[in-house]
Structure 1
């Protein structure tokens, strides 16, 4: 499902963009986009749910509130991402911001953090935070050009990176650092590492992200973004916590 579901989503995106085969009401349907995204998030939710105590809950609520705040400021004042606007309503909107924004933003941050925790288990708090921030930036370098190509949002004046300006990535350094730092504070690292060891599907959402947006960047010919998606997939395979399209190595207990 982690591979097939996003491939179906990519096919629907392509058909919507080409305006073929799909009825008008289904093409780029915002409710369907939000629903499909929420379904892909389910493995992450199930993986983390046993660890969400009061502190973690407060932390996740803080990231949610921050995501609304920074997006509202970005939409209305052009800070910190640069001037941009939503061209497609991603579900119900309030003040120009999608109500479902945390469904899109929060998992990107958490997935990046979990991948770093698996790849760098001995990293210090500062090293882990900076590495997770780097992964989150790569995630946006994969996501944004394809989203712009699909018409989800546009930047005034375009930008050097497939229509995305430098200001967007500078903004992600700020928003990503704040969000990753809150996630770092929210969870017991040892408990989180133990959960990842026993819950092999926890990063399936990240697999789906790479498949979906990697495929869309192939469609648009955004080859730098495609290369970065391949890099993320290599990191996912390296974790050995699941088999990524048959490429993952066997875990010792399975050998």
Structure 2
């Protein structure tokens, strides 16, 4: 039964995410928090089940602890993401950062890392691919959350065409932080793939569902396109690696 637990967790997460476009206001904020908590539990739980408590603990220390640290610095100093502030819609704050925000770093860091483990063997290249895989998610995340008023930038220029409320420097900051996180994570979580299909599904679901949600339900067509391209840098090779065709037979 234990190997099935991540799949059950993924199912619950998907159900919660489906509720997002069906809600608004305080209910949508509650769905957002619930989704992040479920995603955090899914990733940490999978790490514990497949790699052991040491790796799961390192994942939390590096991505949750590191996420809180970098977000607190970002809110206080305007670096490395630009000058931004959080509203109070996502609940209580720690050092100016809603408590749920660091959990989101962990949620997507683990599937991004495992996607890179599957795709790349060289340690340095693996760290870079994993960092891109995590940072690319933010091309969806920030436009969506800013549109809901969960946080705002004081000066979002220059920005991507069609996404005027998020500065380009934010994405660069995400990439630098994500690569650094993956370098630390890789020191303890290296090794071959193993029972990682639920995390591959999580990464691909996030990519495809975000494209659909932004384009069809949230009124964010530009971020749908940019996010599709950015996250597709890892998602497309990952999907291709999962579909092996030998002599016309799908494996």
Q: Is the 8 A contact 1:237 1:249 kept in 2?
A: no
1:149: which partner in 2?
147
Q: Please state whether the residue corresponding to 1:201 is helix, strand or coil.
A: helix
1:169: which partner in 2?
171
CA shift digits 1:129-163 (9 cap, x unpaired):
11212222222222222222222211112231212
**Structure 1 moving runs of 4+ over 6 Å:** 249-254
CA distance in 2, matches of 1:62, 1:236: 24
1:1-255 to 2 correspondence within 5 Å?
Answer: 1=11, 5=15, 8-12=18-22, 15-16=23-24, 25-26=26-27, 28-29=28-29, 31-50=30-49, 51-54=51-54, 57-58=57-58, 60-120=60-120, 123-159=121-157, 160-161=159-160, 162=163, 163-190=165-192, 193=193, 195=194, 198-218=195-215, 219-222=219-222, 223-229=225-231, 233-240=235-242
How big is the alpha-carbon RMSD for the aligned residues of Structure 1 and Structure 2? 3.0
Structure with the higher fraction of residues in strand conformation: 2
Structure 2 gaps of 5+ residues are 1-10
TM-score normalised to the size of structure 2? 0.77
Q: Which moved more, 1:106-115 or 1:211-220?
A: 211-220
Aligned residues: 230
Structure with the higher fraction of residues in helix conformation: 2
Task: Answer 1 or 2: higher relative contact order, Cα 8 Å, separation at least 6.
Answer: 1
Q: Is the 8 A contact 2:74 2:80 kept in 1?
A: yes
Structure 1 gaps of 5+ residues are 17-23, 241-247
Q: Please state whether the residue corresponding to 2:85 is helix, strand or coil.
A: strand
Going from structure 1 to structure 2, the CA distance change for 1:25 and 1:44 (only over 3 Å counts) comes to closer
